[in-house]
Amino acid sequence: MSKTVIAKYSTGGENFEILVDSDKAYDFITGKNANPLAALEAEEIFKDANKGDRQSQEKVIKAFGTADLEKIVTIILKKGTVPLTTEQRNKLLEEKRKQIVNIIATNAMDPRTKAPHPPQRIELAMKEARVTIDPFKQANEQVEDIVKKLTPHLPIKFAVVKVEVTIPAQFANRSYGVLKQYGMKSEKWLPDGSLSAQLEFPAGLQSEFMDKINNATKGMAVAKIIGA
């Protein structure tokens, strides 16, 4: 049986409400279902759903910039408030936490060592800083504020590193795809058939890159950071 709840979104002093199935709304919010209309229980935009008062078309278009129901429902579900069960909320918080940790681990480094922070270290710092995560706000929209709270506990700098790597001739072709994947900016084929390349990628990907390039070259690649 469906569990109908009211999803709410406010902007410009106006309220916009829709009736949705809580499970299907949760599936859309978490990316398990890409169709927001699947969650909709009634194809209406309300000013007050409990009273059955519909919002005017004029105010809907003014607030959302469109009359397209799918786009409107998407905004309400992603930016508004959707009642969730305790289990759904906890799952959503955990998924959002993982996304935030991944963004920081991928794009940031320790400015003292120039090395990336492992996810476990970031998670520990988040606990120490008592970071609060908004389950309904996009992960990338929360990162800046969270990093500010983490800084007293964990030195963090968002940066792009520049790496120069030389690949022995016998591994050059099989390594080329890895180099392209990690933002190869220039390449130079040397007289002995080896490949010298310069790359730029988020600081947190250093360890991942080295693992892949060492795997492709059996540990014979020579890499050094030339800028950060």
Please name each of the domains of the chain with its CATH number.
4-79 (3.30.1250.10), 86-157 (1.10.10.900), 159-227 (3.30.70.240)
CA–CA separation, 216 and 10 (whole Å)? 52
Q: What is the pLDDT of residue 113?
A: 87
Q: What is the pLDDT of residue 175?
A: 95
The secondary element (H helix, E strand) that includes residue 213 is helix 206-217
Q: What is the pLDDT of residue 38?
A: 95
Q: What is the pLDDT of residue 11?
A: 94
First-to-final CA distance of the chain: 55
Q: Which of 139, 30, 131, 45 is nearest to 89 (CA)?
A: 30
Return the SS3 of 3.
Answer: coil
Task: Quote the Cα angle for 134-125-86, to 5°.
Answer: 35
Local mean pLDDT, 10-residue blocks, the chain (228 residues): 86 95 91 92 95 95 95 95 89 92 92 90 96 88 93 91 95 94 94 95 90 95 87
DSSP one-letter string for 169-206: GGGHHHHHHHHHHTTEEEEEE-TTS-EEEEEEEEGGGH
For 77, phi and psi rounded to 5 degrees? -70, -35
